[in-house]
Structure 1
């Protein structure tokens, strides 16, 4: 029997037959040796908070060669260091280092070691997923701070929301449910794209050009995982990336589809002219239908319906 004493706030790493394991007082992280599957587990409850298949290098990103390959995993004092050699790019070694920075904050750094004879321009596709029930997603786009319920098979859908790296007013995303939250935070300029494939943004990390004999590294990626909500992730983002304390209500949430009058209805006399509108943040799945206005007793709206067709982010009604 081996006992290890870890200071409060510290972490410990180890290797089992199948996994690399990193733990602190709040979380247990497991990285599978074969295929590199990564899981985030609440140590107190055993609940699965988040998971991620191994990163894919590309483009193209599919098929992901690393899913079928064994990883070499080292346990260091406060980190797991994992590496895998590429077969598609002979001479290229992909390395990731995972650290627990605090109770709920995880840092992941990435390196490419190029001992081949070719210059490489590559991205690493990161596809995390979190929560299983009663979930909401947060996406702070420049076009609006989207907070929306997740509906399986309906929302979100792949390629139905902005994906370019410069579409974000703040570089984070989160999914909350059942009192837990999983957030992903990245540095501005480090991500080429961040589409939503499952229930959270999936960053495509852009490595600098790596010439033969060189090593390339990018700014760290962070996961916030554990007890909390969407606001917990945003507060961590402002501290890490902006170096300040977040203020309440800095961002005004909006829905994926919004409708109503263009201005508040204020009467000057006995009538007011207002326009009805329907807008969407979705880029692929359009909406067609009729919006009907129901007024309080004694009030009338003419016309009281708005027929709309093929409403998308670029085509409001």
Structure 2
């Protein structure tokens, strides 16, 4: 029997791909087909819509026995992503999956990306050793999110010399990659740094490369003739507190080497004492260079799943440029938050508030709370405490609201004066609000961070993530239950990966009759002159939320495309209520079974008797309704509540699409139907 061949997908492979997917059904959670067998046409359409730059197939004796699709990364421009990988059940364990992954690494390098990522699921841990042997590391504290830095290592000026010397260009390195193949997270630390270590050995010579997990760049290389590395004292770096950064150069040769060092920190990092710009390293000796840096106390803390701030450096050793990058995860020396968050109350409230403190300093510190608020409200708080190294503490406060105070967001600005080793650092101000809400009132204001916008009335709370994607979380205030994560978008087809999933959004808040209008906007990089708009209206005393999309077209030509609005409902404990034409479906959601998104419910709006769906949560006595009118396609099932719109834009125009609605409040499907008929 001839060996398998890895190559790009061709249109004539569609029938063989459909057969592969249909016969792989049982190996996937929830199946692959959704109960609808793939046809050649559907398989071809799936490849076309996936936006993959490398659709790879494995062919064995004329049959398609494996598929791997590599797409743009969903967040980072210098990385690629394995969107889908599957090998026919009868041909697993024959090296086909390995061959597809190695080919995907090659495709990643061809387009100049430094990294290749993938996800798998907890039930697929048997595949984790395969991924690790091909260079993937399991990112700690994730649901099996894996990163592969082989493209960066093979292209780095220093490490690439090792592979060229031993003729180990891709994929020959694979046989010489030393790795412990465990089924657990890869939580490696060296000098206190979070790293992924890569080790290769051939003919008694070794190469060791360290990847900084925070910067997602190479930070150290130990080659046979030369070793270089960079590290910081504390990777979780308290703002306003100086610390050292160090570089070490190890000369393993017989002659002295001349070195130059140039560094470029992110704007949020100040170099207090720069390093030597030039130095020499004698034969068989090592030299350590130091500098002192200090993170800016006004720097914003980045989410843990984003790249950290960094200090980039270029070592030039005998004319060879060696870039190294170290990550600096900037933290406030003491983080200040409030509990409950956000703090909402009625006029006349007399309530307690806890001000939580978390230290990121490895020494005991004295903390004084700095607090300001308007005269309309009364706040009295404890002011002083000691906090242990990397410890937690709390200060109690009391809030009193006058009976006649009107609905409003009253600022509560908190800072901490932190004293350690005779030095004082005052933290970045955090602006919270005492949110006073009358029965028919409504408030929209940022909380703690200008990129976290929170709107609420007496019934429902919505929280907007402006830092990334402009999504809206819908929360029932009475039960505290998160009902839905909504308003992710893609332009296509294909709709994913979408640039808007990672882009920040601006927000404009306006008061309108009976409520507030929030308009989110973000300009496209992929489509020149195009801006996406999301308009959300929330009403005082009402559980109804109105949503509509719009576009600004700044080009002198017409545009036509489709927009997918992706919304995820917390539905596993819900009862589905769906008015399909000719029947009414009322049935408990069954995880992984009903309703399955491609099998159980129609996508054509015409198939709905009335255009609404209601998810009832009997235990919490709350319902989430989704109500719409004019869409090209609707998709419900598996927690999805998605819409596809046909978009036509005139030159130099602003165009708004038809609205849809969310209902988040008491009452069941009859109440949702009643509202749909009214609007």
Q: Same fold (TM over 0.5)?
A: yes
Give the CA deviation at 1:132: 4.7
Partner of 1:305: none
8 Å contact from structure 1 (residues 173, 200) kept in 2: no
List 4+ stretches of structure 1 deviating above 6 A. Answer: none
8 Å contact from structure 1 (residues 21, 80) kept in 2: no
Structural mapping, 1:67-216, within 5 Å: 67-77=501-511, 78-101=516-539, 102-160=541-599, 161-177=601-617, 178=619, 179-187=621-629, 190-199=630-639, 201-207=641-647, 209-216=648-655
Give the CA deviation at 1:227: 2.1
8 Å contact from structure 2 (residues 622, 666) kept in 1: yes
5+ residue gaps in structure 2? 1-372, 378-404, 408-437
5+ residue gaps in structure 1? 241-317
Q: TM-score, normalised by structure 1?
A: 0.69
How many Å separate the matches in 1 of 2:664 and 2:636? Answer: 18
Change (3 A) 1:130 1:201: closer
Partner of 2:494: 60
Q: Does residue 22 of structure 1 match 2:472? A: no
Over the aligned positions, Cα root-mean-square deviation in angstroms equals 2.0
Aligned length: 237
Give the CA deviation at 1:200: 5.2
How many Å separate the matches in 2 of 1:46 and 1:110? Answer: 28
Partner SS for 1:54: strand
Structure with greater helix percent = 2
Partner of 1:257: none
8 Å contact from structure 1 (residues 22, 79) kept in 2: no
Change (3 A) 1:11 1:122: farther
8 Å contact from structure 1 (residues 13, 79) kept in 2: no
Deviation per residue, 1:44-96 (Å, 9 max, x gap): 33221222152222322111210111111122231221011112211111111
How many Å separate the matches in 2 of 1:175 and 1:89? Answer: 36
How many Å separate the matches in 1 of 2:502 and 2:458? Answer: 32
8 Å contact from structure 2 (residues 572, 590) kept in 1: no
Give the CA deviation at 1:202: 2.0
Partner of 2:248: none
Change (3 A) 1:118 1:89: farther
Partner SS for 1:232: helix
Partner SS for 2:559: coil
How many Å separate the matches in 2 of 1:206 and 1:5? Answer: 44
Partner SS for 1:122: strand
8 Å contact from structure 1 (residues 137, 200) kept in 2: no
How many Å separate the matches in 2 of 1:129 and 1:147? Answer: 19
Higher-Rg structure is 2
Give the CA deviation at 1:157: 1.1
Give the CA deviation at 1:164: 1.2
8 Å contact from structure 2 (residues 571, 639) kept in 1: no
Q: TM-score, normalised by structure 2?
A: 0.33
8 Å contact from structure 1 (residues 137, 199) kept in 2: no
Give the CA deviation at 1:197: 4.2
Q: Does residue 9 of structure 1 match 2:448? A: no
Structure with greater strand percent = 2
Change (3 A) 1:158 1:15: same
8 Å contact from structure 2 (residues 594, 638) kept in 1: no
Partner SS for 1:127: strand
How many Å separate the matches in 2 of 1:123 and 1:151? Answer: 31
Partner of 2:428: none
Give the CA deviation at 1:175: 1.2
How many Å separate the matches in 1 of 2:615 and 2:646? Answer: 24
Higher relative contact order (CA 8 A, sep 6+): 1
Structural mapping, 1:29-68, within 5 Å: 29-33=462-466, 34-68=468-502
Partner of 2:664: 225
How many Å separate the matches in 1 of 2:635 and 2:480? Answer: 29
